[in-house]
């Protein structure tokens, strides 16, 4: 069955996050959807690519831009397992993504309300509808378990 709800798409993002964890990356996954079709997927890969900008959101935006031959992703929804950071939030605004749905809140670097809210800056020329907390416990547990294991 094809994904059709916020929870279904977040579950796919969680699968991608688990794959990132298996590669030693911080477990964050993202899925970009428009009109019920998955345009692109990605997961964190800054360690393996030696690229500090290779967050799951950026990887996914780049893939979608390549597939569509367009950097503007109007009408798309990004599902991501962790609240976007300032870099990712700004990229989502620039890409004209319509909606962001995230799982766990990020009290240390979250830019959708935790430490700041990039999406609410009135001077920016695009508004993104943001909704957090979808499968938050599952997304948060994946991150907590990953970091706990690294501290052992």
Give catalytic residue positions.
57
Dist. CA 48–CA 50, nearest whole Å = 6
- Closest-CA residue to 100 (of 82, 123, 116): 82
For residues 63 and 41, is the Cβ–Cβ distance under 8 A?
yes
- Strands 129-132 and 99-104 turn out to be parallel
Dist. CA 40–CA 80, nearest whole Å = 12
- Closest-CA residue to 74 (of 110, 127, 114): 127
């Amino acid at each position: 069955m094809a994904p059709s709800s916020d929870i279904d798409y977040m579950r796919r993002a969680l699968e991608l996050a688990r794959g990132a964890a298996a590669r030693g990356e911080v477990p964050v996954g993202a899925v970009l959807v428009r009109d019920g079709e998955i345009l692109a997927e990605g997961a964190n890969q800054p360690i393996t690519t030696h690229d500090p900008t290779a967050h799951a959101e950026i990887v996914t935006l780049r893939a979608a831009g390549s597939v569509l031959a367009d950097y503007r992703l109007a009408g798309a929804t990004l599902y991501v397992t962790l609240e976007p950071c300032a870099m990712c939030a700004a990229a989502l605004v620039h890409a004209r993504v319509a909606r962001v749905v995230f799982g766990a809140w990020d009290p240390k670097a979250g830019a959708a309300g935790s430490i700041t809210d990039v999406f609410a800056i009135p001077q920016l020329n695009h508004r993104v509808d943001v909704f957090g907390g979808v499968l938050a416990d599952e997304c948060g547990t994946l991150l907590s378990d990953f970091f706990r294991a690294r501290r052992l």
